Structure 1
Amino acid sequence: MAGKVALLLWAQTLGLAGAQTTQLLVEPPWRPAVPWDRVTLTCQGLGTTGATTWYRDGQRWWLEGPDHFTVTESGSYECDRPGSGLSPPVMGPLCPIGPLVLQVPARPLMEGDTVKLRCQCRWDLLVTEVRFYRGNKELIKTLPRTELSLSPLHLHHSGRYRCRVWVNSGVSGGWQESALVTVTVHEVLLSGVSVSAQPPGGQVALGDCLVLSCAVAAGTGPLSFTWHRGGSGTLLGTGPNLELRRVGDNDSGQYHCRVSDGDSVAESVPLNVTVLVPVANVTITPGPLSHQVHAGDPVTLRCLVQVGSAPVTFTWLHNGQEVARGPVMELGKISVEHSGTYQCMATNELGQDGHRVFRALSPELALEVTPDSRWVTAVAVNVGRTLLFLFLLLAVIGGCHCWHHWAARTPQDRTPPEEGAVQDPHVMGTEQTGVHACAGFALIEE
């Protein structure tokens, strides 16, 4: 580790009172920084991020620089932002020489906080046991790289801490000990800090305005307020109210306010803010957008929404007319009447009292229903039978007509010729043929 420089970074953020609002944030948020960490300083305050002025050891070091950078040299760092002034200094002395360091959170430690101490050792060391001490008193024996919990913090937790590890690494094996680190627990004189939201509940539609308010039940002024989201410590604003004029979909999260009276700091319970997103990217399954099925097949259509906050309602359209509601539409065994275009319309109502309604339509699904081959065969058979029946019916009608025509002839016409009379063979054959033909039709009729 010879020749390597590490930094001890300690952000003095306890003094939040007064007009000064610019802050320097340390990432990772631990002190001291281990030599193998990449430490980033971020300047939080009002004004343009590209107009940040940086100071090192009291001298102007970077004019109109970025709002963050990775620290490579030791020193005392400050930043200045137009409109919010100069930040408290962040100190960067050399890290203690050695492969082991005890780290504490790089923020003010308040009574009641949840805090852990980390015993960090170089990555190439084989550690079998870790011990923590306050002063000369041993607190706990743990497994390698285990953290020491001091939660919840009390005033008696203040003191000087160190850790020891047993290293199995050849010639460098044995006990290694970290440098002492001071833990200071600050008394909380403020109480009853709470956050409220408008709209109530912290649910707000995308693009709407959200106002958060910080209230203190007990405390003496003057008080200063800062706003933060999650555990990052990023400064969002100052004052008892925080206004987000047009919330974006990345503004969801837990927000809390921190109040200082100059001597102590109190923090509210986080308020969960949920940004409600309009429905979008509505699709229908099954695909593709042109779908061909056979008559009699069972068909089920489903509507899917890729983006959108609940609750979401679904409406189905067939050729532009509403036919059903719900995310699933069962068509059952379909017929050719089901052919046409289908669309799903998704709707959600956002904002307080649902005053904003959003709708999104899916692409059209063209459903073409073709007759079943079994149905075509059945139709052909039925047509053949019908034609045969008509043919037989016409034959019967013709036979009856012929019979009645022959029966209507006079008796003289029907008298057989006298015995010995000569008949024209052509005429006689015709009459007999007609009689037998009519008889044949009569038999068919019977």
Structure 2
Amino acid sequence: MLPRLLLLICAPLCEPAELLLIVSPSHPTEGSPVTLTCKMPSLRSSDAQFQFCFFRDAQALGPGWSSSPKLQIANMWKEDSGSYWCEAQTMASKVLRSRRSQINVHRVPVADVSLETQPPGGQVMEGDRLVLICSVAMGTGDITFLWYKGAIGLNLQTKTQRSLTAEYEIPTARESDAEQYYCVAENGYGPRPSGLVSITVRIPVSRPILMLRAPRAQAVVGDVLKLHCEALRGSHPILYWFYHEDVILGSSSAPSGGGASFNLSLTAEHSGNYSCEANNGLGAQRSEEVTLNFTGRRSTRDPLRSLPSPVPQEFPYLNSPTPGQLQPTYENEPREQSVAVHGRQQHSSEQKAQKPWGHIWRTRFP
């Protein structure tokens, strides 16, 4: 009788009466680690052996039953919010359960959204890869990133991921990609836009076209020869250089298109080959050569000088990759005579074949 009485008195002191679940930190934010500890405040026997298990909303966590009274959760997310408790099982298969603890995971709204480019600076060569990188300084959970083009805001792409940065790629940049861009990020607390970023697509110059303009079909010493060079494609500004037999005559810059011109007062040494070069810092391109041959000086009896024309006459010499054919076109109004000769001077026999005033000679290309 006495041993049984002693056992009844000792039982509450030898076995734990309750379990406590300790959550650290007690108010976690998304992405941060959390430690769950199953504690027995009234445990008196150091020899007792227990197995522990942690639960959230009736679902076992981690490896299940374990001898460790702690469970490490590397990252807590908004969807991990819920009711948590722990259980302990003795060697005699007696199960103890802690009270439930409500854990609410705090989500941090996105802030300080920015848009950067690769290559940096917003300048990309035509044909190269362009990457628009959208970043947030803070924000947790699933973040939705959106990229927009232009002031109207054409949506280019949408991505949702658990990351502070996301990328939108243009594999091959084209001239039409030169525009303003911005991105937007949001994680459930409203969209946050970035600032505008301007993209410039740098285009190398194409092979320029050189045209020589003289005041008469047969240029003579003393005439002013106008050299006009133009690259039809290429980012501005473009610097043009003019050459006579590979000797630099001068240069001129075109800040916004239309080519550039250079005037040359002809001397006897100026017969020969002319060319020009275009360069916008992305590589130089040289034109084909244009040949101009002339002799003698200006005659005071030059009949072309006495024509009663209100419009100055110019005879262009230009370079072209394909030969042209001269075709007369009749016009009612008096017009200047214009002959385009590809890479050579017009011969006097061709001048005699020209129609009198009222016709214009043009070069047509197939």
Instruction: Report TM bin, short chain.
Output: 0.3 to 0.5
Larger radius of gyration: 1
Query: How high is the TM-score relative to the length of structure 2?
Result: 0.44
